[in-house]
Structure 1
Amino acid sequence: MMKSEIRKMMLERRNTSSKKELNRKNKSIIQEILADDRFKRAETVAIYYPMGNEVNLLTLMKDHKRFAFPKVEPDGIHFYLFDPHIKFVKSKFGVMEPPQGE
């Protein structure tokens, strides 16, 4: 099976899950991350802004750590530290990311 076929199959499975099932899975994943020693020791954590039925990692931001978000730029993906005063913008791919040059 090709990578694109697996991706399509997994997206279909995720998008057809019930709200209750998605919430249960989201809570379980967040609990696993919070319990992980690597997360506990980390000072800075890279996370993404969720789309659709993706796991909502934004709840991790209650922890007193620095969080960095990815931004796709012409020369690759770069991570920018979260600043609550900066408003995220929607990229051409529909992904919420830090604005240009932030």
Structure 2
Amino acid sequence: MEKSEIRKKILEQRESIDSDIRSKWDESIFKRLITSELYKRANTIFTFVSFKSEVDTHMIINDAISNHKTICVPKINSKQEGIKLYKIDSFNQLKKGYFGILEPIESCQQVDKNSLDLILMPGVAFDRYGGRVGYGAAFYDRFISNMNKHVDKIALAYHFQVLDSVPMNEHDIRIDGIITEKENISTAFK
């Protein structure tokens, strides 16, 4: 399947999840993440702020703040500038921005991406070899491609978003793992 077909199919499926089931799956993903060694040892975490039918990251953001971790979220001013990284201390520092996604307000402190210990990646579909199909704008691929150090990139997804394989282009960045409601998947050694 082409990326556009995968996006259409998976997004339709993701948007049709019953809210009670979604809450249970989100809780399971949250517990799997916060009990992982990657999360426990990370001091500075970059996460997407969940939007629409994405895995809920609000619990993760609150947990990181309450455990005195530095939590950073993306801000996009334009496609050309790409992702800028900002530290937040509470949800009060977020407002609707690009595409209606919650973003940090102007007074938040910008953070150097090379200070990150863990990146939580959004996306539409993934495979067990590190393949990722995003939303098509390549914001995360461009953001990660010029980092100075390796940082674990973990996708948060529902189990049905993990496919046998996804198409990858040469500029696509591979992820290191996936956390679903059913399992933690390491893609780094495949």
Category of TM-score, reference length = shorter chain: 0.7 to 0.9
| Highest RCO, 1 vs 2 (Cα 8 Å, sep ≥ 6) | 2
Candidates 57, 79, 82, aligned match of 2:85: 79
Shift of 1:87: 3.1
- TM-score under structure 1 normalisation? 0.85
Instruction: Specify every segment of 5 or more residues in structure 2 that has no aligned partner in the other structure, as ranges.
Output: 109-190
Instruction: Specify every segment of 5 or more residues in structure 1 that has no aligned partner in the other structure, as ranges.
Output: none
Q: State the AA in 2 paired with 1:24.
A: K
Candidates 98, 101, 104, aligned match of 1:98: 104
1:20 and 2:20 aligned? yes
- TM-score under structure 2 normalisation? 0.49
Q: How does 1:28-67 map to 2 (within 5 A)?
A: 28-60=28-60, 61-63=62-64, 64=67, 65-67=69-71
Richer in strand (by share)? 2
Count of matched residue positions in the alignment of Structure 1 and Structure 2: 102
Query: In structure 1, the residue corresponding to 2:100 is in which secondary structure?
Result: coil
Runs of 4+ in structure 1 over 4 Å off: none
**CA distance in structure 1 between the partners assigned to 2:8 and 2:35 by the alignment:** 31
Q: What percent of counterpart residues are identical?
A: 29
* TM-aligned CA distance change 1:35 to 1:85, over 3 Å: closer
